[in-house]
Structures are given as structure tokens and as C-alpha cells.
């Protein structure tokens, strides 16, 4: 098992970000500005999505933000959902819009996401924000929350300049793999993006100072993949059977075999309690940044 000084505590780092958000939000209120507003849209009854939406709403209120929740039925038409997004784009009390994924299969996720005003796209998924990240125009860009959280964790261990360090990102999704690779490049790391078709993946990882695992395969990264002292960021959230807890019970594990890798890594994120808390904290940070940019205020850096 990892000693406590090796474990990157996502809850602790997230609490620091949230404290910054609260402080700056209170500062805006003292200037007579309206509270930043986050609108979260949920379509359908997916239990995990309902839990996420509720926790985002609670966290927004705790940070002093306004929270607007729009819960729509499973059979909502694409036209009705696009009409709601148009209304939120035009609503001056809304600074950030997040459409909870996954959407029901009859809705086109790409079309829905691209309908969000890029200036309110606090999930960082519109082509405008993806392009700004890819071309290093970050002043008024929104970076997807999970990659942004991963980078704060890496910087807490390695500092903000990663010159001379090798990073391997396992996974090439638009949600995590590609944006985190771009962020690592911006911090001067030498980056390899690996995926399911990569040959010699264990060997490639064994040269990495930083590994970001985001593939959705439980306990895939083993001890012999990891260089001694490497920083390991585990984005995976996988449910596996846990018969020791009772019949039909499950437990959460990451993409990294934590018990195997922790004694070798220099620093490692646990699952749960690692990247997860950072994702929601960065959503609050992005909403505050959106409000500041719209109001002509200097947005805080996180």
C-alpha cells in the first residue's frame, strides 16, 4: 500500500480550489456584481447522472454560486433540448452551462454540445474551446474539468514546468486523453499518447516520469509498467465485483492496480478520492472564470 505521503489527496487539493472560488465569488458580490450562475441540464433517469447533478448543485451553492437545475424527461426531443440551450445561452443570470452525459441514445451528443455558447461552455467540449486549448490560447478558453484537475495534481507534485519529463497518456478520448496531452505539452513535457492499438504499452509506460491512465479498464496498469518514483494519475472509475462485501456487491477501482503500483510510484492518486473531487472543483472554477470574463473582471488562475 502507498504511504500517506505518496497519496495525492484529491479532496484536499479540491478544497483549496473551492476556497479560492468562494473567496473570489464573495469579492465579486462586494463589488455589487450578481452571483455567477451554473445551469446543469439532465435528460432522463440515469441514477449515476442524478447523483452527479445533485452534487454539482450542492457544491455550487456552497461556493456562493447560483445553481439552476433543468431535469428533463427521457423522451425529450432534440428540438426541445436545443430550445432550452438557446434560452440558457441568452439568459444573463447563467454564466456556465453543463449538459450531463450520457444523453439518451435518440439525442445527438455532438450536436447538443456544439449548441452551447463557447463563452458558457464550462465543460470545455465545444470545438471553439477544444481549438483554443490545442492552439495554446488559454486566456479565455475553458478546459474540460477532469484534465484541468489532473494537471493541478501533477503540478502539485512536479511544479508548473515539466521540461525534460516524459509523460504517457493512456487513452485518446476528447474528454480526457487529448486535452490532458495538450496541457502536458503546454507545460513542456514530452508526451506520448497511447491507446488500445499501441504496441509494447508496458515498455512505453516504463520510461514515463508521469502516467495518466484514462482507458476504463480496471487495474490495467501493473507494477512492472511503472518507473520508480513516477507520478501516476488514475482517471479510471470502474465497478468490479466485491464478493467479500456480500453477494452482488461491487467496489470502485481505477485503471491502475493501486496496491501493486503504489509502493513503486513517487506519487499516486487513489480511486475514489483522487481525480473525482478535482473534476467538480474545476467545474466551479470554470463557472467563476466565465462570470469574470463576461463581466470584464480578471479571471483567477487555478
**86 is known as an active-site residue:** no
What pLDDT score does 1 carry?
43
Same domain, residue pair 194 and 80: no
Same domain, residue pair 158 and 218: yes
Q: Which domain holds residue 41?
A: 31-117
Same domain, residue pair 176 and 249: yes
Confirm whether 291 is domain-assigned: no
Same domain, residue pair 159 and 90: no
How many CB atoms are located within 10 Å of the residue 165 CB?
A: 20
**123 is known as an active-site residue:** yes
Same domain, residue pair 258 and 222: yes
Same domain, residue pair 149 and 262: yes
Confirm whether 199 is domain-assigned: yes
Same domain, residue pair 108 and 182: no
Same domain, residue pair 149 and 113: no
Cis previous bond, 272, omega within 30: yes
Residues 6+ apart with CB under 8 A from 183: 133, 143, 147, 148, 150, 151
Domain boundary among 102, 117, 132: 117
Give the pLDDT confidence of 29-57 residue by residue, as tens digits: 999 999 999 999 999 988 888 888 999 99
Residue of 100, 121, 178, 209 with catalytic role? 100
Confirm whether 79 is domain-assigned: yes
Residues 6+ apart with CB under 8 A from 102: 46, 49, 109
pTM: 0.94
- Coil, helix or strand for 204? helix
Model confidence at 11, pLDDT cuts 50, 70, 90, reads very high
Same domain, residue pair 159 and 112: no
Domain with residue 56: its CATH number is 3.40.50.10860
Same domain, residue pair 79 and 156: no
What pLDDT score does 246 carry?
85
Give the pLDDT confidence of 88-122 residue by residue, as tens digits: 999 999 999 999 999 999 999 999 999 999 999 99
**139 is known as an active-site residue:** no
Order of all β-strands in the sheet with 96-99: 66-72, 37-43, 96-99
Confirm whether 77 is domain-assigned: yes
What pLDDT score does 4 carry?
55
Residue of 95, 123, 209, 234 with catalytic role? 123
Give the pLDDT confidence of 215-251 residue by residue, as tens digits: 999 999 999 999 999 999 999 999 988 888 888 889 9
Same domain, residue pair 50 and 98: yes
Q: In angstroms, rounded to a whole number, what is the distance separating the alpha carbons of residues 225 and 203?
A: 7
Residue of 7, 24, 35, 56 with catalytic role? 56
Q: In angstroms, rounded to a whole number, what is the distance separating the alpha carbons of residues 297 and 302?
A: 15
Give the pLDDT confidence of 137-165 residue by residue, as tens digits: 999 899 999 999 999 999 999 999 999 99
**CA angle, 108 then 111 then 113, to 5°:** 105
Confirm whether 80 is domain-assigned: yes
Confirm whether 61 is domain-assigned: yes
Confirm whether 174 is domain-assigned: yes
Domain with residue 210: its CATH number is 3.40.50.720
Confirm whether 282 is domain-assigned: no
Same domain, residue pair 154 and 218: yes
Domain total in the chain: 2
Amino acid at each position: 500500500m502507498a504511504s500517506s505521503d505518496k497519496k495525492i489527496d484529491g479532496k484536499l487539493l479540491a478544497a483549496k480550489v473551492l476556497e479560492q472560488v468562494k473567496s473570489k465569488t464573495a469579492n465579486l458580490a462586494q463589488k455589487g456584481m450578481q452571483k455567477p450562475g451554473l445551469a446543469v441540464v439532465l435528460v432522463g433517469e440515469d441514477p449515476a447522472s442524478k447523483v452527479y447533478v445533485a452534487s454539482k448543485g450542492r457544491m455550487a451553492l456552497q461556493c456562493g454560486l447560483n445553481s439552476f437545475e433543468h431535469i428533463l424527461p427521457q423522451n425529450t426531443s432534440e428540438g426541445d433540448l436545443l430550445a432550452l440551450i438557446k434560452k440558457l445561452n441568452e439568459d444573463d443570470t447563467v454564466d456556465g452551462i453543463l449538459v450531463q452525459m450520457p444523453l439518451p441514445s435518440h439525442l445527438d451528443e455532438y450536436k447538443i454540445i456544439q449548441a452551447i455558447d463557447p463563452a458558457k461552455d464550462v465543460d470545455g467540449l465545444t470545438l471553439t474551446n477544444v481549438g483554443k486549448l490545442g492552439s495554446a490560447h488559454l486566456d479565455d478558453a475553458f478546459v474540460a474539468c477532469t484534465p484541468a484537475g489532473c494537471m493541478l495534481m501533477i503540478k502539485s507534485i512536479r511544479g508548473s514546468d515539466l521540461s525534460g519529463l516524459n509523460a504517457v497518456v493512456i487513452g485518446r478520448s476528447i474528454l480526457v486523453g487529448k486535452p490532458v496531452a495538450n496541457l502536458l505539452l503546454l507545460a513542456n513535457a514530452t508526451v506520448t499518447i497511447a491507446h488500445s492499438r499501441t504496441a509494447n504499452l508496458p515498455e512505453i509506460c516504463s520510461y514515463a516520469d508521469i502516467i495518466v491512465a484514462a482507458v476504463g479498464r480496471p487495474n490495467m496498469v501493473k507494477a512492472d509498467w511503472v518507473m520508480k518514483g513516477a507520478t501516476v494519475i488514475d482517471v479510471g472509475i470502474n465497478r468490479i465485483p466485491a464478493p467479500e462485501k456480500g453477494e452482488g456487491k461491487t467496489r470502485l477501482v481505477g485503471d491502475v492496480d493501486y496496491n501493486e503500483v503504489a509502493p513503486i510510484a513517487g506519487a499516486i492518486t487513489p480511486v475514489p478520492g483522487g481525480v473525482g473531487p478535482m473534476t467538480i472543483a474545476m467545474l466551479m472554477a470554470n463557472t467563476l472564470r466565465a462570470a469574470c470574463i463576461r463581466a470584464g473582471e480578471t479571471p483567477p488562475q487555478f
